[in-house]
């Protein structure tokens, strides 16, 4: 069938999402027992043990539509963040919120300014909406070029999108850079501060959460997919001026997120002990990985998220490295789709995962660098 004749150019030019390999697939394909899936920035500790009974209870009511505004959860999140309930909106993951942003705010001839190496989900949703993307290259140390971003904003720029800390680099805007960025953004432009890794970054000395330096034209995104370990349930939220939230409510799918996801998130949000353990695991794992890479003279970026980026010589080396690790049962993510073909992203896992990573790295690295 000639489907293309039905398809507008902005959709035709999108590439279909290529899913990473599942644990079961890798086990089968290479005949392995132990797999470390360090490819998708998931929480390798799982999620709070309180989630399963909350989900079991919610399952008894799945014949009913969910609460479209996630009232209970919304109150919990608003209270903890010191904002009003009208400033918070829940959807099926921050990716859904990004889609809501693209559906709500763009006129046909407007553009968005972002970085060339940041979360691919924004590139995709902007592409679906046919929005022109102005991508400013990251600096040679893989940080945002604040001046370049500010200079690229024009009269047709509706949105600046930045993940802070960034994915896939793990780098971030420091306090001074964030303030300079926000203060430099004109009133006709929205800043989307995607804080998917907020829980890991919060408390880092010169990291400034957007909520601590608020402006009416800033929309903050957070998620339950990373530190809370609920990626499979699809739930995230936005914090913004209530007048913006009211408009976003119009384009949100009425009954997202599911009731099960809302119940799970509420349980997970209350378990601060599990959250603390998840954050400590990542902090210790990052330090261990830095020491390991330093010993091997491998190049990487220092991160305040739950992943570390390994920098290879070129795309070919990145492909060989990732494939070699896969054959040892370590699933990693090449980030060509994020704009960095020579880099590989490593999610911090459990101690066992990191041991598996190091042992496999020793074997694969000699075939790469000799």
Ligand X SMILES: *Cc1c(COP(=O)(O)O)cnc(C)c1O
What does the binding site for ligand X look like in residue numbers (CB under 6 A)? 41, 93-95, 119, 121, 163, 167, 194, 196, 223, 225, 231, 236
Instruction: Select 115 or 163, whichever has its Cβ closest to ligand X.
Output: 163
Q: Which of 142, 84, 79, 83 has its CA nearest to residue 115?
A: 142
Q: In the chain, where does DSSP find H-type helix?
A: 9-12, 23-30, 51-59, 71-81, 94-105, 120-128, 146-152, 175-184, 198-201, 242-251, 259-270, 272-295, 315-327, 351-369
State both tokens at 141. Answer: 């140390």
Residue 228 C-beta: closest distance to ligand X, Å: 10
Instruction: Select 94 or 157, whichever has its Cβ closest to ligand X.
Output: 94
DSSP 186-232: -TT-EEEEE-TTHHHHTT-TTB--GGGS--TTEEEEEESSSTT--GG
Q: What letter does residue 308 receive in the DSSP assignment?
A: E
- Per the CB < 8 A criterion, the answer to whether 253 and 66 are in contact is no
Residue 105 C-beta: closest distance to ligand X, Å: 17
Instruction: Select 37 or 328, whichever has its Cβ closest to ligand X.
Output: 37
Instruction: Select 158 or 226, whichever has its Cβ closest to ligand X.
Output: 226
Q: Which of 190, 208, 209, 197 has its CA nearest to residue 248?
A: 190
Using a 10 angstrom Cβ sphere, with 0-12 exposed, 13-18 middle and 19 or more buried, the burial of residue 103 is middle
Instruction: Select 236 or 285, whichever has its Cβ closest to ligand X.
Output: 236
Q: In 109-237, where does DSSP find H-type helix?
A: 120-128, 146-152, 175-184, 198-201
Residue 39 C-beta: closest distance to ligand X, Å: 12
Instruction: Select 224 or 361, whichever has its Cβ closest to ligand X.
Output: 224
Using a 10 angstrom Cβ sphere, with 0-12 exposed, 13-18 middle and 19 or more buried, the burial of residue 341 is middle
Q: Which residues contact 103 (CB under 8 A, 6 or more apart)?
A: 129, 251
Q: Is 183 helix (H, G, I), strand (E, B) or coil?
A: helix
Instruction: Select 123 or 361, whichever has its Cβ closest to ligand X.
Output: 123
Residue of minimal Cβ distance to ligand X: 93
Residue 240 C-beta: closest distance to ligand X, Å: 16
Residue 119 C-beta: closest distance to ligand X, Å: 4
Instruction: Tell me how far apart the alpha carbons of residues 331 and 40 are, in angstroms, rounded to a whole number.
Output: 9
Instruction: Select 166 or 360, whichever has its Cβ closest to ligand X.
Output: 166
Q: How many other CB atoms are there within 10 angstroms of residue 368's CB atom?
A: 15
Instruction: Tell me how far apart the alpha carbons of residues 66 and 129 are, in angstroms, rounded to a whole number.
Output: 27
Four-residue CA torsion sign, 53, 54, 55, 60: positive
Residue 252 C-beta: closest distance to ligand X, Å: 14
Residue 299 C-beta: closest distance to ligand X, Å: 22
Instruction: Tell me how far apart the alpha carbons of residues 169 and 302 are, in angstroms, rounded to a whole number.
Output: 8
Residue 280 C-beta: closest distance to ligand X, Å: 20
Residue 206 C-beta: closest distance to ligand X, Å: 20
Instruction: Select 41 or 360, whichever has its Cβ closest to ligand X.
Output: 41
Instruction: Select 27 or 336, whichever has its Cβ closest to ligand X.
Output: 336
Residue 33 C-beta: closest distance to ligand X, Å: 29
- Per the CB < 8 A criterion, the answer to whether 154 and 111 are in contact is yes
Residue whose tokens read 């030019």: 13
């Amino acid at each position: 069938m000639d489907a293309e004749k039905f398809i507008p150019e902005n959709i035709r030019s999108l590439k279909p999402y290529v899913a990473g390999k599942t644990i079961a697939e890798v086990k089968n394909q290479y005949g392995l027992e132990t797999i470390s899936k360090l490819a998708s920035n998931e929480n390798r500790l799982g999620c709070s043990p309180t989630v399963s009974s909350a989900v079991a209870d919610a399952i008894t009511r799945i014949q009913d539509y969910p609460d479209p505004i996630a009232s209970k959860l919304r109150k919990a999140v608003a209270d903890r963040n010191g904002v009003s309930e009208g400033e918070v909106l829940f959807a099926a993951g921050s990716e859904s919120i990004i889609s809501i942003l693209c559906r709500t705010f763009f006129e046909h001839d407007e553009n968005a300014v972002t970085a060339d190496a940041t979360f691919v989900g924004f590139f995709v949703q902007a592409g679906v909406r046919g929005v022109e993307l102005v991508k400013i290259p990251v600096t040679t140390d893989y940080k945002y070029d604040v001046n370049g971003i500010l200079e690229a904003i024009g009269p047709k720029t509706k949105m600046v999108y930045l993940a802070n800390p960034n994915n896939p680099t793990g780098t971030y805007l420091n306090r001074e850079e964030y303030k300079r960025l926000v203060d430099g953004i004109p009133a006709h432009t929205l800043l989307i501060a995607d804080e998917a890794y907020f829980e890991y970054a919060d408390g880092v000395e010169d990291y400034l959460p957007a909520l601590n330096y608020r402006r009416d034209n800033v929309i903050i995104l957070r998620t339950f997919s990373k530190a809370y370990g609920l990626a499979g349930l699809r739930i995230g939220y936005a914090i913004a001026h209530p007048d913006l939230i009211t408009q976003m409510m119009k384009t949100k799918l009425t009954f997202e997120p599911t009731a099960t996801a809302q119940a799970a998130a509420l349980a997970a949000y209350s378990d601060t002990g599990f959250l603390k353990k998840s954050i400590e695991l990542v902090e210790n794992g990052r330090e261990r990985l830095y020491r390991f890479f330093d010993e091997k003279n491998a190049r990487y970026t220092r991160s305040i998220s739950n992943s570390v980026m390994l920098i290879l010589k070129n795309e070919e080396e990145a492909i060989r490295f990732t494939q070699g690790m896969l054959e040892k049962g370590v699933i990693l993510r090449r980030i060509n789709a994020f704009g960095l073909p020579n880099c590989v992203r490593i999610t911090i896992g459990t101690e066992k995962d990191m041991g598996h990573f190091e042992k496999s790295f020793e074997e694969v690295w000699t075939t790469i660098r000799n």
